[in-house]
Structure 1
Amino acid sequence: MAALLRAVPRWRGPAAWGKPLCGLWSCGGREDPKRWVRSRSPGSEEKAPGTETEKFQMVYRFDAIRAFGYISRLKVAQTALTLVALPPGFYWYSQGLMPLDSLCLVGGIAGFALAMLCWMSHFFRRLVGILYVNESGTVLRVAHLTFWGWRQDTYCPVADVVPLTETRDRPHEVFVRIQQYSGKQTFYLPLRYGRVLDRERFTQVFGRLDSLK
């Protein structure tokens, strides 16, 4: 996975990603909340009570998250196409048009593709793209991917977030984990490959790190 992170280009500007994608992942530090509502699919945001009128400041950004979204959607499509080939394969085998070895090969490829989809989805759904903190510093908003490779926002109380200084993870590692005391959900933060945009707010949530970028 570290090699994949290094291989994904880290474009810096909205022009590199294409204008149609700016509505899915913010191209700047501030965005219009109404535009976000229109750009998301229903049910793609887990809102915390009382955050409807809150303003959030971007504190961290992982530019390559769009590329991982593309990979996730391509993997879903590839797996679907592979599984669609199974029924015709069984039919051709029943008619004597396909040998058993070929049917087993098709089944093995479909099974491997499905297993890889499950593994990649488990990881990509926890990969952090953008982090926001509200003005009062009490709520952390995590932008990550869905199973289908689209953006989803999850809100976490800052008081429930385990500071990185209390974990065994180190900033120089490929990923550091964003954990919650309640154990609700764990996210993977590629700190080495992302950008800390607001060091002060980031430190308030995760603690002071000696090698913070």
Structure 2
Amino acid sequence: MQQLNQRRLGTAERTTTTPELDQAAFSEWRTIYSLPSIRLVAAFNRLKIYQAALTAAGAPIAFALGQAGHVASDALGIYAAIGVSGLITLTLASYASTNLVGFIYINEQQDMLKLAYVDFWGRRVETLVEVDDLLPSWERGATSRLRFVLPITLRSDDKRRYKLLNRFGNIADPQLFEGLFGD
């Protein structure tokens, strides 16, 4: 199999190998999996950005109010501790939801999948994956410790992993889904 070329197009990531696959990007796509709560996950991942901005903007204000005597002198320390601990908590929680798949589409020829997932910053990213590049659960050997998370791994890049919440998602075609991803 040829080495996959990756090009970044805005917030969408396309993975292609041949010009024929470029034409597959313009074919009809059918949804086979959707996660209704993916927008909440994306909003949660973006929340850390707002937390950091609020903490950074409010620290000088808390310092100035403390120097003017309007609040206690340790208000800046309390404000910073709450802001930074909240930011750390949100960041760690974002690592758990990074690469969480919200939608899976399949083309008409059923040889390409389009995975739409949430990145660390809460943006939707789409990537094209060949069906033959999927590593099924029975070939991985080890089952997931967390039964509600199904890892999606690729043969071409075993470090790239996607997370699938198959119990909480809507599966439009269960037979096709099981054929692609296993149980």
Alignment TM-score, normalising by the size of structure 1: 0.65
Which structure: greater strand fraction?
2
Counterpart of 1:85 in structure 2 is: 58
Paired-residue identity, % = 28
CA 1:58–1:101 in structure 2 vs 1: closer, same or farther (change >3 Å)? same
Residues paired across the two proteins, number: 166
Aligned twin of 2:11: 44
TM-score (norm 2): 0.74
Instruction: Give the AA of the match of 2:127.
Output: T
Q: Residue 174 of structure 1: which of 131, 148, 155 is its match?
A: 148
Unaligned runs of 5+ in 1: 1-41
Alignment correspondent of 1:194 = 169
Judged with a 3 Å threshold, the aligned counterparts in structure 2 of structure 1 residues 199 and 172 are, in CA distance, closer, same or farther, namely: farther
**1:202-213 → structure 2 map (5 Å cutoff):** 202-207=177-182, 209=183
TM-fit CA distance, 1:163: 0.7
Unaligned runs of 5+ in 2: 1-8, 17-21
Does the C-alpha gap of structure 1 residues 171 and 101 become closer, same or farther in structure 2, counting only changes over 3 Å?
closer
Which entry has the higher C-alpha Rg, 1 or 2?
2
SS at match of 2:103: strand
Cα distance in 2, alignment partners of residues 46 and 129 from structure 1 = 15
Q: Cα gap change, 1:172/1:84 in structure 2, threshold over 3 Å: closer, same or farther?
A: closer
What's the CA shift for 1:173? 1.4
Partner SS state of residue 43, structure 2: helix
Give the distance between the partners of 1:124 and 1:149, measured in 2 at CA: 9
